[in-house]
């Protein structure tokens, strides 16, 4: 496996971001009261409000709600000062959008402060915002090289990947989630408007999470339940949030992996059910492992050492062999589905926006992905984009902003 090259951002027409940030600051008015501090350690329900302030970014632990946008940006700020202004602008908009409130009145001759997509008052309590930084932000532009998170690097190219450079990497990642499409689209437009001249959209993909059918874990577009064996939220301190071995500013962040994976559904739909289940190692109807009856049943690999019931090549057996040695590689999955219509050949373009969070890219995600090399499912999927990012520590209060300790 190799690191995918990171193209540099091309020239983007821009005005001084300092001027734009000054205008953008006037767009924020008092937000709703739902901005209380939170450690980010208990938010799991997709319908529960997500606290904006806290030691960690609480939206990371939220079960993906109905709608998600994952976007990557190239930073075009011209100096470290402008970079700080960019982080403040993103923070101000995220704080307002998550809390809700009435957009400021800028006068009859000025453009309106808000797109109006959500009506005259922005509702609060549903939107989740996650901001991450990519390895490319730590190049020579802003003098941050010595502060790069210890394990952050460009996304690795694995066997069977077909990566499109235009849909890979980025200086920043922005993940927006809510229970309605207009909420995430409104947030993306708002943040893009407030930061124009500071960052430029590189790629984005809209995703959705299916409701449980009939119960339990939601399904992916191959028809199988996805993310059954996620670790418990109570394990976040030992698996998700970074601690020792990182720059002091990075404590409380998390390594974010985004993989854009197309599913070749026309071919998949012609595979027998028995073969599909053998590839996953689970029943399609219930989600149970092939040696169990409920989706939550733990596979009994020790009773099936040669893979008579659950094949040794199955996805669940390779991804999580359930040995003491591989337990440390478990990740927090936050994947959602996507549908982009059809490609130039008239084939359906749909699949998975795979997102996961962890303390260590190599020990966790890359260890899992290496075990999955050449699994049978690779004939029916085609990873084409994404990136590695470091989800920043949380914004601790009204006087804090994303990246403050990084840029101090």
User: Rounded to the nearest 5 degrees, what angle is found at the Cα of 101, between the Cα atoms of 97 and 102?
Assistant: 115
Count of beta carbons in the 10 Å neighbourhood of residue 233 = 16
pLDDT tens sequence across 248-285: 999 999 999 999 999 999 999 999 999 999 999 999 99
In angstroms, the CA 338 to CA 139 distance is 32
The pLDDT of residue 3 = 75
Q: How much is the average pLDDT of 305-323?
A: 97
User: Does residue 36 register a pLDDT over 80?
Assistant: no
- Across the range 366-381, mean pLDDT stands at 97
The pLDDT assigned to 48 comes to 82
Torsion of CA 172, 173, 178, 184, to 10 degrees: 60
**According to the model, what pLDDT value does residue 19 have?**
54
Per-residue confidence (pLDDT) for residue 35, from 0 to 100: 38
pLDDT at 281: 98
Tens of pLDDT along 201-233? 999 999 999 999 999 999 999 999 999 999 999
Residue 110 has pLDDT above 70, yes or no: yes
Contact, 223 vs 282, CB < 8 A? Answer: no
Given this model, what pLDDT does residue 9 score?
56
- The least confident of 14-18, 64-68, 74-78, 120-124 is 14-18
CB 205 within 8 A of CB 338: yes
pLDDT given at position 297: 98
Least confident of 47-56, 166-175, 274-283: 47-56
Tell me the average pLDDT across 42-48.
Answer: 71
For residue 33, pLDDT over 90 is answered with: no
Q: What's the CA gap between 91 and 89, in Å, rounded? A: 5
Token look-up 């009145």 returns: 105
User: In whole angstroms, what is the distance from residue 398 CA to residue 395 CA?
Assistant: 8
Specify the higher pLDDT residue, 290 or 39: 290
Which pLDDT score, from 0 to 100, does residue 26 have?
A: 47
Which residues, listed in sequence order, are joined to residue 339 by a DSSP beta bridge?
350
Per-residue pLDDT at 344 exceeds 70: yes
Can you give the pLDDT at residue 2?
74
pLDDT at 25: 46
**Band (47; pLDDT cuts 50, 70, 90):** confident
Which DSSP helix (H) or strand (E) runs through 381?
Answer: strand 381-391
Q: Which pLDDT score is estimated for 326?
A: 96
Q: Is the pLDDT of residue 78 over 70?
A: yes
Mean of all residue pLDDT scores within the chain: 92
**Is 298 a residue whose pLDDT tops 60?**
yes
Report pLDDT for 5: 67
Nearest to 9 by CA among 155, 134, 145, 174: 134
Does 15 have pLDDT greater than 50? Answer: yes
Report pLDDT for 243. 87
**In percent, how much of the chain has pLDDT > 90?**
87
The domains of the chain are located at: 37-408
Confidence (pLDDT) at 10:
52
Q: Which of 7-21, 159-173, 262-276, 305-319 has the lowest mean pLDDT?
A: 7-21
CA 170 from chain center: how many Å?
Answer: 13
Is residue 367 classed as helix, strand or coil in its secondary structure?
helix
Q: Is the pLDDT of residue 398 over 80?
A: yes
pLDDT for 39: 43
Residue 6 above 70 pLDDT?
Answer: no
Q: What percent of the chain has pLDDT over 70?
A: 90
Alpha-carbon span 342 to 329, nearest angstrom: 36
Residue 88 reports pLDDT greater than 70: yes
Give the model's pLDDT for residue 244.
86
67: which strand partners? 178, 208
SS3 of 368-404: HHHHCCCCHHHHHEEEEEEEEEEECCCECCCCCCCCH
């Amino acid at each position: 496996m190799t690191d995918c090259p990171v193209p540099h951002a091309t020239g983007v027409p821009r005005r001084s971001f300092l001027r734009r940030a000054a205008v953008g600051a006037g767009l924020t008015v008092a937000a709703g009261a739902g901005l209380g501090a939170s450690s980010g350690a208990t938010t799991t329900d997709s319908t529960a409000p997500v606290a904006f302030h806290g030691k960690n970014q609480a939206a990371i632990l939220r079960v993906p709600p109905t709608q998600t946008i994952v976007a990557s940006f190239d930073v075009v700020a011209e100096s470290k000062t402008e970079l700080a202004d960019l982080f403040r602008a993103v923070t101000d908009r995220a704080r307002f959008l998550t809390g809700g409130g009435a957009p400021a009145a800028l006068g009859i001759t000025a453009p309106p402060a808000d797109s109006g997509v959500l009506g005259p008052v922005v509702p609060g309590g549903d939107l989740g915002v996650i901001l991450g930084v990519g390895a490319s932000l730590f190049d020579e532009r802003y003098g941050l090289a010595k502060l790069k998170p210890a394990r952050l690097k460009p996304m690795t190219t694995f066997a069977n990947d077909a990566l499109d450079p235009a849909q890979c990497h980025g200086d920043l990642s922005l993940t927006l989630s809510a229970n309605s499409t207009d909420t995430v689209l409104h947030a993306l437009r708002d943040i893009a408007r407030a930061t124009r001249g500071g960052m430029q959209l590189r790629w984005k993909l809209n995703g959705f999470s299916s409701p449980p059918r009939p119960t339990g874990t939601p399904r992916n577009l191959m028809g199988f339940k996805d993310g059954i064996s996620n670790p418990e939220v109570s394990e976040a301190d030992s698996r998700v949030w970074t601690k020792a071995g990182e720059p002091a500013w990075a404590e409380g962040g998390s390594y974010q992996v985004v993989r854009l994976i197309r599913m070749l559904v026309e071919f998949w739909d012609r595979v027998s059910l028995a073969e599909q289940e053998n590839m996953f190692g689970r029943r399609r109807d219930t989600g149970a492992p092939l040696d169990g009856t409920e989706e939550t049943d733990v596979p009994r690999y020790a009773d099936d050492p040669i893979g008579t019931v659950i094949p040794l090549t199955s996805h669940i057996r390779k991804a999580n062999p359930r040995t003491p040695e591989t337990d440390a590689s478990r990740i927090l999955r936050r994947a959602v589905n996507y549908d982009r219509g059809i490609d130039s050949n008239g084939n359906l373009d749909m699949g998975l926006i795979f997102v996961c969070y962890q303390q260590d890219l190599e020990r966790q995600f890359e260890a899992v992905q290496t075990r999955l090399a050449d699994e049978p499912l690779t004939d029916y999927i085609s990873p084409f984009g994404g990136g590695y990012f470091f989800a920043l520590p949380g914004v601790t209060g009204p006087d804090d902003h994303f990246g403050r300790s990084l840029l101090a």
